[in-house]
């Protein structure tokens, strides 16, 4: 019988990363209180996690990143906090504050509640987006910050501003009531636990394997398996070598978009694109299209990598190989696509089945 390790408040419980974090917590003997904007989604989340966790170790509460109501009560009986909730649009918003305001205000609400409730430790889900953009470093480390004065896109800007505000909050607490670790993942791939295929990585892979992307932009990004991200969140709770640190959770080398597509073709998804969109075309479109403007800025960033030596040292981390990540991700789509009326196993999408 697993010993109870304490209770963790997990914000944004219905999200891609949060579901994996909750599953990892429950499997390791923690109680979980998951926050939702709409409690009508509780059954959906429980279904995603599996019937074995429909018990007293999992409960839900209602929280909103833009509303003070409920935060103190939610944290009052918890030992730890995973602040994962953050707005994320697949398309670039008209107003960047649609992302920045809830990301910033939600982070501060979470930290204030943690401080008031004497939470032992906070693990904040940040991003490589807060580290690797607006400059040209070829190998990024935890001392690097994205320059938000540059044209980096609303999502990257929101993650950077929110993480900086979090560290400022912690550094200004004279009583040091809790320690904090940030997890900074690259582009997150891996199996879905829910039927939501609208997230960034799921949407990208979906469009590649169904032929909706005839060609790809010349973009590089570092990548990580969602299960590794969840594991690093949970390990951070009890590994004090991670206290007050930024943990880079991503591949050491930048991966070109075309390499992702090539692996998908190896897995039998023959509609995955083989060619690049000419960069001058994207740059021209960027003059009047918000999404192309964001894509253009990512192309200009070029290839970069990440120093993950500290992550490996602290956690003895061995990242899941990318091919395994993508194989498990596309396998998980059978359920998700079924809900959406799309079957990636049809011969139009995948050969050999």
Which helix (H) or strand (E) segment is 305 a member of?
Answer: strand 305-306
Which sign, positive or negative, has the C-alpha torsion 163, 165, 168, 169?
A: negative
β-partners of residue 162 are none
**Cα distance between residue 101 and residue 58, in whole Å:** 29
Question: Tokens 């969109």 belong to which residue?
Answer: 277
274 catalytic residue (yes or no): no
What phi, psi does 312 have (nearest 5°)?
-65, -40
Output the six-digit token pair for 110. Answer: 């979470």
- Report the b/e string of 159-195 with b at 16+ CB within 10 A: bbbbbbbbeebbeeeeeeebbbbbbbbbbbbbbbbbb
Output the six-digit token pair for 253. Answer: 């080398």
In contact, 27 and 50? CB cutoff 8 Å: no
In contact, 264 and 330? CB cutoff 8 Å: yes
Catalytic residue, chosen from 121, 159, 231, 350, is: 159
Q: What is the 3-state secondary structure (H, E, C) of 119-144?
A: CCEEEEECCHHHCCCCCCCCEECCCC
**Cα distance between residue 333 and residue 326, in whole Å:** 11
Question: Which sequence positions are flagged as catalytic?
Answer: 159
């Amino acid at each position: 019988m697993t010993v109870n390790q304490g209770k963790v408040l997990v914000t944004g419980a219905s999200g891609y990363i949060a579901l994996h974090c909750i599953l990892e917590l429950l499997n390791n003997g923690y109680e979980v209180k998951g926050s939702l904007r709409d409690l009508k989604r509780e059954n959906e989340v429980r279904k995603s996690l599996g019937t074995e966790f429909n018990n007293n170790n999992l409960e839900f509460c209602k929280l909103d990143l833009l509303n003070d109501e409920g935060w103190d009560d939610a944290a009052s009986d918890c030992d730890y906090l995973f602040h994962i909730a953050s707005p994320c649009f697949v398309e670039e918003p008209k107003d960047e504050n649609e992302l920045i305001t809830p990301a910033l205000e939600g982070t501060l609400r979470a930290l204030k509640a943690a401080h008031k409730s004497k939470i032992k430790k906070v693990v904040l889900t940040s991003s490589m987006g807060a580290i690797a953009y607006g400059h040209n470093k070829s190998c990024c480390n935890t001392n690097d910050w994205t320059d938000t004065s540059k044209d980096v896109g609303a999502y990257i800007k929101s993650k950077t501003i929110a993480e900086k505000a979090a560290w400022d909050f912690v550094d200004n607490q004279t009583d040091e009531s809790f320690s904090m670790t940030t997890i900074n993942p690259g582009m997150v791939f891996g199996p879905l636990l829910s039927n939501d295929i609208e997230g960034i990585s799921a949407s990208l892979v979906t469009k590649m394997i169904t032929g909706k992307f005839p060609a790809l932009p010349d973009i590089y990004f570092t990548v990580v398996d969602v299960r590794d991200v969840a594991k690093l969140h949970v390990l951070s709770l009890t590994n004090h070598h991670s206290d007050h640190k930024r943990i880079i959770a991503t591949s050491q080398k930048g991966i070109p978009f075309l390499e992702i597509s090539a692996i998908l073709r190896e897995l039998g998804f023959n509609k995955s694109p083989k060619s690049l969109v000419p960069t001058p075309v994207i740059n021209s479109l960027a003059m009047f299209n918000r999404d192309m403007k964001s894509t253009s800025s990512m192309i200009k960033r070029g290839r970069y990598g990440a120093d993950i030596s500290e992550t490996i040292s602290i956690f003895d981390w061995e990242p899941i190989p990318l091919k395994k990540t993508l194989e498990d991700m596309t396998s998980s789509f059978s359920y998700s696509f079924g809900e959406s009326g799309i079957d990636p196993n049809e011969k139009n999408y995948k050969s050999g089945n």
